Amino acid sequence: MPKTINVLFLAAEAEPFIKVGGLGDVAGSLPRALRALSNDEITLDVRLVLPYHPVIKADNLKPVGMFSIPRGGSEVQVEAFETTLKGMPVYFINGDAIRANGSVYSLDAKLDAEKYSFYSIAALELSRQINWFPDVVHGNDWHTALSLYYSLTKRWEEGARHVASVLTLHNLPFMGPDVSEILNSYGLKLAQTDLPDWARVMPLPLGLWSSDAIVGVSPTYAKEILTEEYGCGLNEFLQLRHETLSGILNGLDTDSFNPETDTAIGVNFALETLEKRAANKNLLQARLGLPQESEIPLFAIISRMDVQKGVDLAFSALNTMKRLNWQAVILGTGDPKLEEAAMKLQKLFPERIKVETRYDAGLARQIYAGSDMFLMPSRYEPCGLSQMIAMRYGCVPIVRAAGGLNDTVRHGVTGFVFEKAHHLSLVAAVKNALKVFANREQWQSLQRAGMAQDFSWENSARQYLNLYLSLIKS
Per CB under 6 A, residues contacting ligand GLC are 21-23, 26, 170-171, 217, 250, 381-385, 404
**Smallest distance from the beta carbon of 169 to ligand GLC, in angstroms?**
8
Amino acid occupying residue 45: D
Interior CA angle at 455 toward 452 and 460, to 5°?
Answer: 145
**Smallest distance from the beta carbon of 386 to ligand GLC, in angstroms?**
9
Closest CA to 296 of 367, 391, 372: 372
Nearer to ligand GLC by Cβ, of 250 and 366: the residue is 250
Q: Which residue is nearest to ligand GLC (CB)?
A: 22
Cα 217 from Cα 167, distance rounded (Å): 11
Nearer to ligand GLC by Cβ, of 170 and 400: the residue is 170
Nearer to ligand GLC by Cβ, of 175 and 290: the residue is 175
Cβ contact 144:11 at 8 Å: yes
**Smallest distance from the beta carbon of 306 to ligand GLC, in angstroms?**
9
Amino acid occupying residue 275: E
Q: What is the distance, to the nearest Å, from the Cα of residue 119 to the centroid of all Cα atoms in its chain? A: 20
Cβ contact 23:65 at 8 Å: no
Sheet holding 88-94, edge to edge: 62-71, 74-85, 88-94, 43-51, 4-10, 136-140, 164-169, 213-216, 245-247
Cα 464 from Cα 9, distance rounded (Å): 12
**Smallest distance from the beta carbon of 335 to ligand GLC, in angstroms?**
14
Nearer to ligand GLC by Cβ, of 7 and 284: the residue is 7
**Smallest distance from the beta carbon of 385 to ligand GLC, in angstroms?**
5
3-state class (DSSP) for residue 392: helix
Nearer to ligand GLC by Cβ, of 215 and 328: the residue is 215
Amino acid occupying residue 264: A
Identify the bridge partners of residue 47 per DSSP, sorted by sequence position: 8
Nearer to ligand GLC by Cβ, of 147 and 250: the residue is 250
Nearer to ligand GLC by Cβ, of 14 and 342: the residue is 14
**Smallest distance from the beta carbon of 171 to ligand GLC, in angstroms?**
5
Packing angle, helices 423-437 and 311-320, rounded to 10: 60
Sheet holding 396-400, edge to edge: 353-356, 327-331, 298-302, 373-376, 396-400, 416-418
**Smallest distance from the beta carbon of 40 to ligand GLC, in angstroms?**
32
Distances (CA, A) of 52 to 55, 57, 410: 8, 9, 40
Cβ contact 235:225 at 8 Å: yes
Nearer to ligand GLC by Cβ, of 17 and 437: the residue is 17
Nearer to ligand GLC by Cβ, of 23 and 122: the residue is 23
**Smallest distance from the beta carbon of 395 to ligand GLC, in angstroms?**
17
E runs forming strands in 86-188: 88-94, 136-140, 164-169
Cα 459 from Cα 469, distance rounded (Å): 16
**Smallest distance from the beta carbon of 170 to ligand GLC, in angstroms?**
3
3-state class (DSSP) for residue 277: helix
Torsion of CA 214, 241, 198, 215, to 10 degrees: -10
**Smallest distance from the beta carbon of 28 to ligand GLC, in angstroms?**
11
Nearer to ligand GLC by Cβ, of 95 and 404: the residue is 404
